[in-house]
Amino acid sequence: ALGMKLEEAPAIVAGGRGVGSAENFKDLEEVATTLGGLVGATRAACDSGFISPSVQIGITGKVVSPDLYIAVALSGASQHMSGCLGSKVIVAINKDADANVFKDARYGIVGDFKQVLPAFNEKCKELLGSS
């Protein structure tokens, strides 16, 4: 995915403030790499210093429309969602079952991404036949 622009990525794994740290964003990067895509983020995650503002998605960031958008630990504020509603499929992972993001997601997983993502990544590798 070297040199690929966020706007061109076939898959984006985006994290919100709930990701909690720059360190935790590495979990998202692993999945993005498996899927041949890139990591994105909400303004809150960028403002918290977890990740570079260059990958911010939303009204004050980039507008993206990948085939697959995985929204991780983000609430789904309209300012962010307006930047990714063009995605073909939105999958939300959030431990708050009432999070707004589930309204816009085609698939939702209620759970802690720290538990969900590693298993999800393994399954993707299996299905995509990459090690």
pTM of the model: 0.95
Give the start-end residues of each E strand in 16-81.
38-41, 68-72
pLDDT of residue 131: 53
Contacts for 116 with CB less than 8 Å, ≥ 6 apart: 93, 109
Per-residue pLDDT tens digits for 47-65: 999 999 999 999 999 999 9
Please tell me the distance from the alpha carbon of residue 32 to that of residue 12, in angstroms, as a whole number. 6
pLDDT band at 20 (very low <50, low <70, confident <90, very high): very high
Per-residue pLDDT at 129: 85
Q: Which whole number is the average pLDDT over 96-107?
A: 96
How far, in Å, CA of 60 to CA of 77, rounded? 12
State the average pLDDT over residues 11-19: 97
